[in-house]
Structure 1
């Protein structure tokens, strides 16, 4: 009888230990509680490029406010911790560590910039924390595939190919390139060179500007010598505006074209509608002012409710779609949410985010190749 009692006690103890062990295995990853899921974002909210981060943040928060009002993710509210990096690499890396180690976020989203994200990648990859949405089209972030990084937008190679093909199709062959001297600009410049090579062409001139600088004089001098028909600019809005002003002052009136990171509304705000008129811009997000596309209509409603305005923008809708992607992926990953389940769900499930579609696989984390070519009209509006 005593032996039987001991056996029963041992069996109960083993079962309890097994249950405890399984419970520890199934314990939620950091950032998940009974009531919340915490996400993290590092972007510029100050400095020359602070407007980019602010618009993305507003779009993301507008989506999460709408989501939480409707029950969140399986009853859990989504909270977004946002840290300002000023578009500086060291601050981005420090923010990434802080978000993971101090704020204990479940996942990351909407990191901004090629060079900052390249360095931050070392931190979140080692920690096995997924990053969804990189505001960069740099090839160096896309190949080789990083298991924990998923791209929402098309690459710079996709954008520059579309621009070059359009210009060459118009009979424009003397094309120069003006680029930012960092990972972003060099990746875009490489895309221009590769796209021109498909047409057996080369840039007639090149010029660069340092990140967070407006010193464009040398670039203007180099490019103006070539008297180009068009200049493709892989730069952000402030140096772009200064470059165009100085080129025109030098008597140069080529077709100016630039890539999506420019932020059309910010360029118009910097230059004025009259001077920005005619600048071509490739876009990688749906037209934010579209009254018929489901995701744009959803974005309008959310921004009006959250921010009490209707100042729509490409960066705003990108932040909104980025938030919607991570929310949809978490929903589809199921109730026992984990970082690895989130990664596996993204790699195996296509997502229709309201007319903007993305899909990933284990060997390809480029969600979309969508590129739309636009031009700034006389009143500063983006025309398609």
Structure 2
């Protein structure tokens, strides 16, 4: 009788261990976490990404899921605030017990979450709207970076493309407006570095606080040098406020900005005043009828959907995650997911390639230059 009880306990213990499995994974589901701004001045960015990811997860689930497991997305609103992003990440890992993280937003929030939460917990994050070097460092030298998998090109890639274009046009008087946070400072460093290659320095540098549109002092500082061009490392609301104020001050430089601005949102905010603004992009055109990735994205959101660069990037992030989970095998684990991602060498998503290795987390170096044309059209 005693032997039978011992055997029963051993079997139950073994069976319980199998049932427990990896956090966020059950026999019929896989739970993914996401923290991003869904409210406040930058909420439109996160909402666009969330809609696309949820639509793609539905598509995967309707086709049978991944080895019979249905994907679900748990989202938390961080308002593009670093402390909230870190708290949300910890809650997603410790309380919600997500398997992995997807589509973070912002340089400072993502860097802090990596160093204080998901890197320590060894939970992989796939995709971040950030080109900061802080989340692209070598995992060998910075162990927390092992769990950060970027898709988009870096701010250094974007700013180099912008500076090279301006200098090739004979423009040398280049000022910089940057957002006072990790995003803006990383972009500023990229501009300064790119200008240095042409024996140039910024003619003026001014800043605007995160989640603020108070650009009066910045306009005064930059207008004082009558710049030929201004590179704006800012999001769409402060960018729009700055452009309006500069034009009101009879300043008409060539305005250039980086991909995080969100071209479609900038057009909505500025209207016809957005015409002529140059924007570096880190994804192919979401309106393309020749790029397979864009075509499949358009099909996903349907004829009533509004294509956007943010939406296409979220789709690419989700595609990489699903591909990696499939590569982990019948019983997904976080370490298995990391290994699967590291084995992705030159993964072709359909006109957009992503590569990782044991010591490389950059994903892609793709940069395209666009300009806002008549009627708000984004032109190459």
* Same fold? TM cut 0.5: yes
Structure 2 partner of 1:293: 291
| Counterpart Cα distance in 2 of 1:242 and 1:201 | 27
Gaps of 5+ in 1: 1-8
1:233 equivalent in structure 2: 232
The structure 2 residue matched to 1:352, chosen from 348, 353, 363, is: 348
> Which position in structure 2 is the counterpart of 1:3?
none
After TM superposition, give the deviation of residue 88 of structure 1 in Å.
0.8
Tell me the distance in 2 between the aligned counterparts of 1:25 and 1:58.
34
**RCO (CA 8 Å, sep 6+): is it higher in 1 or 2?**
1
**Contact 2:344 / 2:354 at 8 angstroms: preserved in 1?**
no
Which segment drifts farther, 329-338 or 45-54? 329-338
1:372 aligns with 2:368: yes
Which of 321, 336, 339 is the aligned partner of 2:334? 339
In the other structure, the counterpart of 1:6 is none
Residue 144 of structure 1 and its aligned partner are, at CA, apart by 4.0
Unaligned runs of at least 5 residues, structure 2 = 140-144
1:200-219 correspondence to structure 2 within 5 Å = 200-219=199-218
Q: Distance in 1 between matches of 2:16 and 2:348?
A: 35
CA distance in 2, matches of 1:270, 1:29: 45
Q: Kindly indicate whether the alpha-carbon contact (under 8 Å) linking 1:129 and 1:148 is maintained by their aligned counterparts in 2.
A: yes
Residue in structure 1 matching 2:321, options 318, 323, 326: 326
Higher CA-based Rg: 1
SS in structure 2 opposite 1:81?
A: strand
TM-score normalised over the length of structure 2: 0.94
Q: Residues 221-247 of structure 1: CA distance to partner in whole angstroms, max 9, x if unpaired?
A: 111111111000000000000101111
Pair 1:142-2:122 in alignment: no
1:313 aligns with 2:304: no
Provide the residue aligned with 1:222 in structure 2.
221
Q: Is the 8 A contact 2:138 2:361 kept in 1?
A: no
Of 58, 62, 65, 2:55 maps to 62
Match of 1:79 among 72, 77, 93: 72
1:69 shift after superposition? 1.1
Q: Is the 8 A contact 2:138 2:360 kept in 1?
A: no
Q: Which runs of 4+ in 1 moved over 2 A?
A: 16-28
Contact 1:62-1:320 at 8 Å conserved across structures: no
Q: Secondary structure of 1:244's partner? A: helix
What TM-score, normalized by structure 1, do the two folds share?
0.93
Instruction: Give the SS at the match of 1:267.
Output: helix
- Tell me the secondary structure at the aligned position of residue 178 of structure 2: strand
